[in-house]
């Protein structure tokens, strides 16, 4: 089924019905990994990746487990930042994967390449986002760090997910329509 050759209402209904169970399954698996601390190795990977770049901005920063130590000073105290499960970008990646898997009328094997590429882009964007927030903290202090962390960069990955999904959906559906 495609938007051009089929009924758009039917397409959207089928798409909507698929999203809920797929997302619930992915989110349940994520929560199991989070609760059992199986996600910790990924926290370490992200922390090490961020540390690799951040150490060039401030040579006094060091890494202890998943915590970036000695990031900047605020009110006379040293600020340390923990890279935790919520910082990993997993929720946006799972959301993107869910949206692609939920597309009706497209073969599973045609969804794999866009999922891998989109997930890699979201992962890289999340690393950049973490670096940007830390850079803001280093250069403008704790208040600007909080402002960027809590407001400015709150929905950036969601917007990226929606953009990648729109591009992927358009490509997959146009390829699917050419076959018919």
The pLDDT score that the predictor gives to residue 158 is: 94
> Which residue range(s) make up the domain with 110?
8-175
| Phi/psi of residue 162, nearest 5 degrees | -65, -40
CA-CA distance, 117 to 22, in Å (whole number)? 20
Cβ proximity of 83 and 52 under 8 Å: no
Q: What is the mean pLDDT of the chain?
A: 89
Q: How many domains does the chain have?
A: 1
Residue 27 lies in a domain: yes
The pLDDT score that the predictor gives to residue 128 is: 95
Q: Per-residue pLDDT for 151 more than 80?
A: yes
User: pLDDT digits over 18-32, tens only?
Assistant: 999 999 999 999 999
∠ CA 58-64-68, nearest 5°, is 40
Of 18 and 5, more confident: 18
Residue 3 lies in a domain: no
Q: Which residue has the tokens 């997302």?
A: 23
Q: Could you tell me what percent of the chain has a pLDDT over 90?
A: 61
Q: Could you tell me what percent of the chain has a pLDDT over 70?
A: 94
pTM: 0.88
Residue 133 lies in a domain: yes
The pLDDT score that the predictor gives to residue 3 is: 47
User: pLDDT digits over 47-81, tens only?
Assistant: 999 999 998 888 888 899 988 888 877 777 888 88
Residue 29 lies in a domain: yes
Residue 2 lies in a domain: no
Report CA dihedral (70, 74, 77, 81) to the nearest 10 degrees. Answer: -40
Question: Which of 162, 4, 12 shows the shortest CA–CA distance to 102?
Answer: 12
Residue 138 lies in a domain: yes
For residues 148-158, give the mean pLDDT.
89
For residues 129-136, give the mean pLDDT.
92
User: pLDDT digits over 88-125, tens only?
Assistant: 999 999 999 999 999 998 999 999 999 999 999 999 99
Residue 43 lies in a domain: yes
Of 6 and 90, more confident: 90
Residue 151 lies in a domain: yes
């Amino acid at each position: 089924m495609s938007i051009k050759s089929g009924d758009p209402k039917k397409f959207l209904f089928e798409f909507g019905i698929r999203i809920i169970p797929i997302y619930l399954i992915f989110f349940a698996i994520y929560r199991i990994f989070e609760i059992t601390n199986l996600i910790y190795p990924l926290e370490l990977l992200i922390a090490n990746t961020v540390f690799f770049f951040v150490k060039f901005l401030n040579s006094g920063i060091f890494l202890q487990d998943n915590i970036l130590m000695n990031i900047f000073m605020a009110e006379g105290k040293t600020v340390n930042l923990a890279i935790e499960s919520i910082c990993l970008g997993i929720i946006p990646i799972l959301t993107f994967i869910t949206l692609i898997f939920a597309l009706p009328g497209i073969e599973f094997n045609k969804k794999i390449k866009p999922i891998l590429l989109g997930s890699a882009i979201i992962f890289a964007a999340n690393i950049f986002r973490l670096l940007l927030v830390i850079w803001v903290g280093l250069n403008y202090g704790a208040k600007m760090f909080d402002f960027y962390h809590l407001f400015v960069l709150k929905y950036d990955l969601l917007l990226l997910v929606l953009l990648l999904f729109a591009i992927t959906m358009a490509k997959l559906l146009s390829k699917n329509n050419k076959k018919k």
